[in-house]
Amino acid sequence: MEEIGLLMQGFAVALQPGNMLLMLVGVVLGVLIGVLPGLGGANGIAILLPLTFAMPPVSAVIMLSCIYWGALFGGAITSILFNIPGEPWSVATTFDGYPMAQQGRAGEALTAAFTSSFFGAFVAVVMITFVAPIIAGFALRFGPPEFFAVMFLSFACFVGMAKGSPLKTLAAMMLGFLLAAVGMDTVTGQLRMTFGSEEMIRGFDFLVAVIGLFGISEILCSIEEGLHFRGQKAKIDLKVVLRTWAELPRHWFLAIRSALIGCWMGITPAGATPASFMSYGVARRMSKDPAGFGQGRIEGVVAPETAAHAAGTSALLPMLTLGVPGSPTAAVLLGGLIMWGLQPGPMLFVEQKEFVWGLVASMYLGNVAGLLVVLVAVPWFAAILRVPFPIIAALILTVCAIGAYTVSNAEFDIVLMLIFGIVGYVMKKLDYPLAPLVLALVLGDRTEEAFRQSLLVSNGDLGIFFHNWLSGGIMAAGIALLLWPALAWARAALASGLGRARAA
């Protein structure tokens, strides 16, 4: 098959000594990011993105993607040993992982978590290898109406599948669109909402916004909560690994089901966190002993970790093929590709085959490297949490400031980073989601451009978005998802009214 040949070419790129070194460095940095509460995959990549500007795009994205794999692995370490989720998607792992550590089974829990993570990511990468070229070839038929329809569907998914209030999700998204509109109009070239400030002409850089929204706000929340690190000790030896590996095949159906849930939640903009909770909930519901969950069941570790890694990896599929990220981290990577002069979308598979398949090959290799690194070095990474949190917080704040400054070498960006940090802190306290804001900030210009180009072609007729089955079908799905919370509320209200009527 053609994909196999292209993948072999990708391995030739990824296996270059320089790229292999960057892969290893990326995995180690990613595990550190995953271990430290206050950082995360999206923010870690955002902070380190300026360091890659001098690298070739292939090498840069290989390193950044491996940071992501490492962060996915690292989040499980703190969840199991310290009952502190290093990443949001590791919350579900604490339910059974930490009880296992308290029972003296920390090595077993960590081995199960890392192996399950490896399996989930492997399934997602295989899917990307064979499905991405098909989607990209299909997407070559897209014009401005179809691209707008896809982006509309992406935003609608956030609203329709929101865990919290759909209105809060919509409000966060609108704020992101507002921020994306600041600066120069991409269609007319006119300035908008700069208020006479020269600094505002270039608009709000997504990288500065992400560092503030994710990094600074998380540090402020952690300082407020007075975070302390107290956890279990762990050492993984060969006997524990082999014994756990001998037990895991008994849960093969659970792993496959969790991987499929993760892939679906990753392709839609739901993300790794809902995937981990959904997989844990399904595993508990379908278990013969649901009451045992939360007491130290290995299935309670396998399910969320498999789903989280599958979702985190498969989120790159819509980003590469359609230019629509499936997670906040994918949104940061999307912004990086644009900064390197690469346009994510179907043409990327035509014009930049070396880049695309080098990245896919690095997913296979980075996943293997991540598994080996965490199995060997868990005690070292866990020891980092013995460092007093004030020192860690100060180091993270310093790195954030350096990362923000190096984007444009402008002191004003540090001020913006702090402002975005306060905004992110307030949004978290008020339970407003940050991911829709980041997605709108990254895709706002492209969405507006596709919308306005479509209207220019149709002389202002909105019917162009329904002029064929492709764009019309995507728009219909988006509208259905957008209205789904209102329909669910109406259905619940009607059921409640009927219940009261029967009671009367």
Most confident range, picked from 46-50, 406-410, 452-456: 452-456
User: What tens digit of pLDDT does each residue of 393-434 get?
Assistant: 777 777 777 767 766 777 888 888 888 889 888 888 888 877
Distance CA 53, CA 83 (A): 37
Evaluate whether 417 touches 401 at the Cβ level (below 8 Å).
Answer: yes
Tell me, yes or no, if the pTM score tops 0.95.
no
Would 503 be classed as within a structural domain?
no
| Chain mean pLDDT for the chain | 76
* Residue numbers of the domain that contains 481: 2-485
Each as own residue / partner, the long-range contacts of residues 272-275 (CB below 8 Å, 24 or more positions apart, any chain) are 272/72, 272/87, 272/88, 272/89, 272/307, 272/308, 272/309, 272/311, 272/312, 272/315, 272/327, 273/88, 273/89, 273/91, 273/308, 274/161, 274/163, 275/89, 275/307, 275/308, 275/310, 275/311
Tokens of 490: 């109406």
> What residues contact residue 493 under an 8 Å CB cut-off, 6+ apart?
none
Would 85 be classed as within a structural domain?
yes
User: What tens digit of pLDDT does each residue of 66-79 get?
Assistant: 887 777 777 777 77
Would 499 be classed as within a structural domain?
no
Least confident of 10-19, 223-232, 461-470: 223-232
Give the pLDDT score at 231. Answer: 46
Distance CA 187, CA 209 (A): 24
Tokens of 201: 């002409």
Evaluate whether 416 touches 210 at the Cβ level (below 8 Å).
Answer: no
Q: How far is CA 404 from the centre of its chain?
A: 20
Give Rg (Cα) of the chain.
23
Would 494 be classed as within a structural domain?
no
Give the pLDDT score at 314. Answer: 82
Would 496 be classed as within a structural domain?
no
- Read off the pLDDT of each residue in 222-245 and give the average, rounded to a whole number: 65
Percent of the chain with pLDDT over 70: 80
Would 403 be classed as within a structural domain?
yes
Give the pLDDT score at 502. Answer: 67
Domain count for the chain, please give it: 1
